[in-house]
Amino acid sequence: MKINRGGPESLQGTLVAVKNDYLVLWTKEGIVYVSTSHVKSITDFPSNKSKGRTPHYIHASSFIGVIRALNQKFVQINWGGPEKMEGFIAEVGSTSLLLVVNREVVQIQLFHIKTIKLLGQNTSRGDRSGGNKNRTGGNNNGGDKNRTGGANNGGDKNRTGGTNSGGNKNRTGGSNSGGNKNRKNNNKSGNKNGNRSGKRN
């Protein structure tokens, strides 16, 4: 069946129940509760094959009773157009409710609510996003910083200090200074002794 002929509040589905002042409609997006005070027309289509077992829905004596049963839950209020809103029902009063929409609190008069439905799937997506964020943060930040610090800083500094400073200084001192000076002294001594001996003889 189709409720309302056209416009943003026109919706189509299978009629599940007819209550005192509201209808229960099974649509492609789930169970929708429709206030009969806002229904302008109902179009009945030829019956199709059964969809299977009817999903669970709220059994309340009135449309306001349905709204109260959805307190503290995420819902969609009104089917379409500028009056469509999605949010969390924080409180239901005698004539209005408080809906939290993107950190804003909106007060909605109950008699302006044409349709309402539960948004159970939105909550599940939020939980999975949170879990993924935590795992990403742990792998990137902690692991990468530790590996970088150990490999680059510590290892490079030690190798540079040992090879360049210690080794080069020792080899330079031993080869150039000690060895050259001794050889020069030996040569000078030999020349002096030989010359003196020759003159005396």
Q: State both tokens at 77.
A: 């209020």
Torsion, Cα of 114, 120, 121, 126 (10° steps) = 110
Q: Write down the pLDDT at residue 48.
A: 58
Q: Which of 77-91, 124-138, 169-183 has the highest mean pLDDT?
A: 77-91
pLDDT on residue 146 = 42
- Domains belonging to the chain, first-starting first, are 2-47+58-124 (2.30.30.600)
Report the pLDDT value the prediction gives residue 50, as an integer from 0 to 100.
56
- The per-residue pLDDT of the chain, averaged, comes to 72
| Neighbouring residues of 61: CB distance < 8 A, sequence distance ≥ 6 | 19, 20
Look at residue 27 and tell me whether its pLDDT is greater than 90. Answer: yes
Which of 56, 58, 61 lies closest to 20 in space, CA to CA? 61
Predicted local distance difference test score (pLDDT) of residue 5: 85
**Confidence band (pLDDT; 50, 70, 90) for 188?**
very low
* DSSP symbol at 151: I
Q: What's the pLDDT band for 149 if we cut at 50, 70, 90?
A: very low
Contact 98, 105 (CB under 8 A): yes
Percent of the chain with pLDDT over 90: 49
Q: How confident is the model at residue 6 (pLDDT cuts 50, 70, 90)?
A: confident
Distance CA 137, CA 144 (A): 11
Question: Is the predicted pLDDT of residue 37 greater than 80, yes or no?
Answer: yes
Q: What is the mean pLDDT of residues 51-69?
A: 91
pTM recorded for the entire structure: 0.58
pLDDT, residue 120, reads 75
% of the chain beyond a pLDDT of 70: 57
Q: Give tens-digit pLDDT for 38-57.
A: 999 999 887 655 556 878 99
